[in-house]
Amino acid sequence: MLDQSQFPITRLWPAQHPERLQLYSLPTPNGVKVSIMLEEIGLPYEPHLIDIGKNETWTPEFLSLNPNGKIPAILDPDGPGGKPLALFESGAILLYLAEKSGKFLPQDPARRYETIQWVFFQMAAVGPMFGQLGFFHKFAGREYEDKRPLERYKNESKRLLGVLESRLEGRDWIMGEEYGIADISLLGWVRNLIGFYEARELVEFDGFPRVGRWLERGLARPAVQRGLNIPARDV
């Protein structure tokens, strides 16, 4: 069982079930990757809401788990060798949970690395570009007189949607017939782009019909619907 005294984060967010994996997150596009994955694999876990609006990721307790001050992060009391494991970076967490559960990551080495490359594609390209588009289209950046940054991120976001559109030709999921962590890593970001960021028309999303159908398939999964709202936001 987890010795909570080893981990300062548990002093601010105490575990009611210390034998379960502890999730420290918020239902953002990065956060829901992990909650969706946990719902998909059925591993018992305890979610803790981290309020980034109150700068809770910059508390000493949270920084003790993730020095980069970002959600999500996990603390698994039953990590490799039965020892507790603290982990941050959503892509790394997806890989860890896939290997821990034996689900959503192909066993064949070639297909395994092909899957991982698409997770890296999301981490390195889709997340940063879509996030910047959101800033310049909906948030403080929309007030900037210079519209060149918005134009740049709009064009790059459209290009990335085009990459996904091409990949999904003849495929239901990123890896073909097999739904996996590549899809899980991308679903929240594409959903956010046309929903919360209100950029559907800006990026001409309806011009990417395969991406649209893929998103609908993903959002129809019960585990995805549950994961999109975990941890529950304060009312």
- pLDDT tens, residue by residue, 166-183: 999 999 999 999 999 999
Query: Which residue, 103, 134, 161, sits at the end of a domain?
Result: 103
Query: Which residue, 69, 103, 137, sits at the end of a domain?
Result: 103
C-alpha span between 30 and 41 (Å, rounded): 18
Q: Does residue 230 form part of some domain?
A: no
DSSP category for residue 229: T
Q: Say what the pLDDT of residue 185 is.
A: 98
Which residues have CB under 8 Å from 156's CB, separation 6+? 129, 133
Predicted TM-score (pTM) of the model is 0.96
- 219 CB burial (10 A radius; 0-12, 13-18, 19+): middle
Query: Do 43 and 114 belong together in one domain?
Result: no
Query: Do 14 and 116 belong together in one domain?
Result: no
Query: Closest Cα partner for 232 from 74, 55, 47?
Result: 47
- DSSP β-bridge partners for residue 22: 46, 75
E strands within the chain?
21-25, 45-49, 73-76, 85-88
> Do 186 and 160 contact (CB within 8 A), yes or no?
no
Query: Do 91 and 141 belong together in one domain?
Result: no
Q: Does residue 164 form part of some domain?
A: yes
pLDDT category of residue 3 using cuts at 50, 70 and 90? low
> Do 69 and 58 contact (CB within 8 A), yes or no?
yes
Other C-beta atoms within 10 Å of 156: how many? 18
Q: Does residue 213 form part of some domain?
A: yes
Query: Do 113 and 45 belong together in one domain?
Result: no
Mean pLDDT of 143-161: 97
| Owner of token pair 């007030």 | 143
Query: Do 132 and 87 belong together in one domain?
Result: no
Question: DSSP readout, 85-151?
Answer: EEEESHHHHHHHHHHHHT-SS-SSHHHHHHHHHHHHHIIIIIHHHHHHHHHHHTSGGGG-S--HHHH
Q: Does residue 76 form part of some domain?
A: yes
> What's the whole-number average pLDDT of the chain?
96
Task: Return the structure tokens found at 147.
Answer: 């519209």
Q: Does residue 53 form part of some domain?
A: yes
Query: Do 113 and 220 belong together in one domain?
Result: yes
> Do 21 and 76 contact (CB within 8 A), yes or no?
yes
> Do 70 and 58 contact (CB within 8 A), yes or no?
no
Mean pLDDT of 39-47: 98
Q: Say what the pLDDT of residue 1 is.
A: 54
Give the CB-side neighbour count of residue 208, counting CA atoms within 13 A. 25
Query: Do 122 and 92 belong together in one domain?
Result: no
Count of domains forming the chain:
2
For the domain that residue 60 is a member of, what is the CATH number?
Answer: 3.40.30.10
The answer, yes or no, to whether residue 19 has pLDDT greater than 90, is yes
pLDDT category of residue 2 using cuts at 50, 70 and 90? low
Q: Say what the pLDDT of residue 235 is.
A: 56
**% residues pLDDT > 70 (the chain):** 98
Query: Do 97 and 123 belong together in one domain?
Result: no
Mean pLDDT of 30-48: 98
State the residue range of the domain holding 196.
109-224
pLDDT category of residue 114 using cuts at 50, 70 and 90? very high
Query: Which residue, 103, 129, 151, sits at the end of a domain?
Result: 103
